[in-house]
C-alpha cells in the first residue's frame, strides 16, 4: 500500500512500515532496505514536495528485489492516476 501526501518542504520524504506479521526482524529489515533502495534509485522520477509512506503486507517477505520493484512501480502508477482524477 502506498500513501502519498503533499508537504511544504520542497523535498520528497519516505516512510516505510513493515508489521510484525511479515516475520522476524531480519525479514522486516530486509524489506525496508529493498524499499529504500528502490526509492534511492528512482527518487528523481517521483513527485517533488511529497511524503510517501509505504506499508508492507505479510505476503512480501518471499519476494525478490526485482519483484518488489515491479510491484512498487505498479502502486506508484496507480497512485499517480488516482491523484490526477
Q: Domain holding 32: CATH number?
A: 3.30.230.10
The mean pLDDT value for 13-28 works out to 88
Beta bridge partners of 53: 3, 15
- Cα separation values, 46 from 33, 42, 49, 71, Å: 18, 7, 10, 15
Q: What is the pLDDT of residue 80?
A: 66
What number of residues does the chain have? 85
Q: What is the pLDDT of residue 31?
A: 87
Q: How many domains does one find in the chain?
A: 1
Query: What's the pLDDT tens digit per position in 28-72?
Result: 888 888 889 988 888 787 777 888 888 887 777 778 888 888 888
Full domain range(s) for residue 22: 2-84
For residue 10, give the DSSP letter. Answer: S
Q: pLDDT-derived band of residue 85, with 50, 70 and 90 as boundaries? A: very low
54: left (phi over 0), alpha (psi -120 to 50) or beta: beta
Amino acid at each position: 500500500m502506498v500513501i502519498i501526501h503533499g508537504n511544504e518542504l520542497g523535498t520528497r520524504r519516505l516512510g516505510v512500515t513493515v508489521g510484525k506479521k511479515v516475520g522476524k526482524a531480519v525479514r522486516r529489515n530486509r524489506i525496508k532496505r529493498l524499499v529504500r533502495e528502490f526509492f534511492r534509485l528512482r527518487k528523481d522520477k517521483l513527485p517533488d514536495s511529497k511524503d510517501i509512506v509505504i506499508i508492507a503486507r505479510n505476503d512480501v517477505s518471499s519476494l525478490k528485489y526485482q519483484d518488489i520493484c515491479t510491484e512498487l512501480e505498479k502502486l506508484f502508477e496507480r497512485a499517480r492516476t488516482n491523484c490526477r482524477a
